[in-house]
Amino acid sequence: MDGSNSVRNIDLLHLLFGVLIMLKDFFKRLFCRHKNIYFIRNIYGDEINHVSLSKIYRSWWKCRDCDEFVKKEDYVDQLGGCMTDCAHCGDPDADFDCNGLKFCNEIHGLCYLEPSIEITEVKMMKTLSEEIPNGTKGFIVGAGDGLNLVRFDNDVIAFCNMDELEVIR
């Protein structure tokens, strides 16, 4: 009899422990302000066409603190209209605005919103035109060996071969 009572007591302790964890998670979600969110993915075309128009959210975000899915519109409203620090690095001097999120530059915006994209920062080695002098910095999304589309810091977009560019990182 003593063995069955101790097993029953252990089972009750496991049950009680599970209930306490569930209550902790419930109250954590109930009172979470969702200040620590991260981007999951954007929603496009056919996905939007297959749901009710009243339930469309263009992007999915998730709170790191409570694992709840959050609408970006709610998060932006909590911050009083828009973020002020760079969402990628936390720099307070962020001025590049992307749908209410602030970033230091376009590269930080791309890295934060689409982390799977490979971004290569480059610098022009040869002066090909007045608009792109030697030393102008820029970036390539998904760089290849041949011709690449480069977005330069002076807002010029050009096709350049990799032998005309120096890879910064």
**Residue 85: per-residue pLDDT:** 73
Average pLDDT, the chain: 76
Q: What is the pLDDT of residue 80?
A: 45
Q: What mean pLDDT is predicted for residues 61-67?
A: 81
Q: What percent of the chain has pLDDT over 70?
A: 76
Instruction: Convert the pLDDT of each residue in 90-125 to its tens digit.
Output: 777 777 766 667 777 777 777 777 778 888 888 988
| pLDDT score, position 47 | 60
State pLDDT tens for residues 42-55: 666 666 555 554 45
Q: Are strands 59-63 and 69-70 parallel, antiparallel or unpaired?
A: antiparallel
Burial class (CB in 10 A: 0-12, 13-18, 19+), 108: buried
CA dist 34 and 70 (Å) reads: 8
The maximal CA–CA distance of the chain, rounded, in angstroms, is 92
**Which pLDDT belongs to residue 121?**
87
- Judge whether 160 and 147 are in contact, CB under 8 Å: yes
Residue 1: alpha-carbon gap to chain centroid: 58
pLDDT tens track for 129-166: 888 888 888 888 888 888 888 888 888 888 888 888 88
Confidence band for 82, pLDDT divided at 50, 70 and 90: very low
pLDDT per position as a tens digit, 6-23: 777 778 888 888 888 888
The model scores a pTM over 0.75: no
